[in-house]
Amino acid sequence: QEHKHALARKVIIERRKEIIETEIARKEKLIAQEKAAAAAKKAEAEKKRVEEDLKRREEERIKRIQDEVQRDQAKRIAEEISSKTGLQLKPEEIENSDVNTLLNLKVSRLQTEQKELSDRLKQISKRIDHTERAYRKEEIPLLEKDYEQ
């Protein structure tokens, strides 16, 4: 009986052991699974982050290039303005404006400049012509006298 009992207990113990082992195994598996899932998730997140980072950087790069192109263009226009008209733009003016505003600026400045130039030239032209005519007008009597001699 005792033996039987002992056997039975042994069996029970074994069983319990098994149960506990299975339980432990199950738990371990679960933990492992959870761990794996977490790792995967983390990896996924990391990947996503890297991708996003890349994308963001790419975008930044493109924007930089675009900005640079824009600035270049603006600078070019500004240079054009200054070379064609002698008009100098301040660096911050170039920095802070896009191509369109610069173009508009160019057009409007060119227009005002053209007007001023043509007004001034008209004045100069008149002055030169009238001075010449006045000289000759006063010179005619002298020429007549000169001829008589």
Partner 1 sequence: MSSLDFKNLPECEEDINFDDIYEKYEVSTENDFDTIVVVDGAPIVDEAKQEKLITVLTKLFTKGAGEIKENGIWMPMTPNEEGKKTSSGYLFIDFKEAESAQAAVKNLDGHKLSKTVTLLVNKFTDVEKYSDMNEEYVEPTIEPYTPKEHLKSGMMDLQARDQFVMYRGDDVSIFWNRKTDAPEHVYSRTNWTETYVQWSPKGSYLSTFHTQGIALWGGPSWNKIVRFVHPGVKLIDFSPNERYLVTWSNEPISLARLPETGHPFSEYDEGNQVVVWDIKTGALLRTFPVVQPVGEEQKTVRWPIFKWSASEKHFARVVPGQQLSVYEAPGMGLVGKKSIKTPGIVDFEWSPAKIDSSETKAFQKEEILSYWTPEVGNQPARVSLMTIPSKEVVATKNLFNVSECKLYWQNQGHFLAVKVDRHTKTKKSTYANIEIFRINQKNIPVETIELKDPMLAFAWEPYGERFATITTNDPAYGSTPAHGVAPSAIKTDVKFFYLDKSKKANAGFKLMKSLEKKTSNYLFWSPKGHNVVLATLRSSTVFDLEFYDVDFEPLASDKKDKNDVGATVQLLSTQDHYGVSDVEWDPTGRYVVTGSSMWRQSADHGFCIWDFKGTLLFKQNVENFKQLLWRPRPESLLSDEQKKKIKKNLRQYSKQFDEDDLAMGDASAAKLHAERRKAVEEWYGWRKATERKLQEDRK
Tell me which residues touch partner 1 (CB under 8 A): 86-88, 109, 112-113, 116-117, 120-121, 124-140, 142-144, 146-147
**Nearest-approach distance from CB 98 to partner 1, in angstroms:** 21
**What residues have CB less than 8 Å from 82, skipping those under 6 apart?**
88, 89
Rounded to whole angstroms, the Cα distance separating 49 from 43 reads: 10
36 or 124: CB nearest partner 1: 124
Rounded to whole angstroms, the Cα distance separating 54 from 1 reads: 76
73 or 93: CB nearest partner 1: 93
What SS3 class is residue 116? Answer: helix
**Nearest-approach distance from CB 134 to partner 1, in angstroms:** 4
**Nearest-approach distance from CB 146 to partner 1, in angstroms:** 6
**Nearest-approach distance from CB 80 to partner 1, in angstroms:** 14
User: The tokens of 104 are what?
Assistant: 């508009």
15 or 127: CB nearest partner 1: 127
DSSP 98: -
* Closest C-alpha among 99, 75, 104 to residue 88: 75
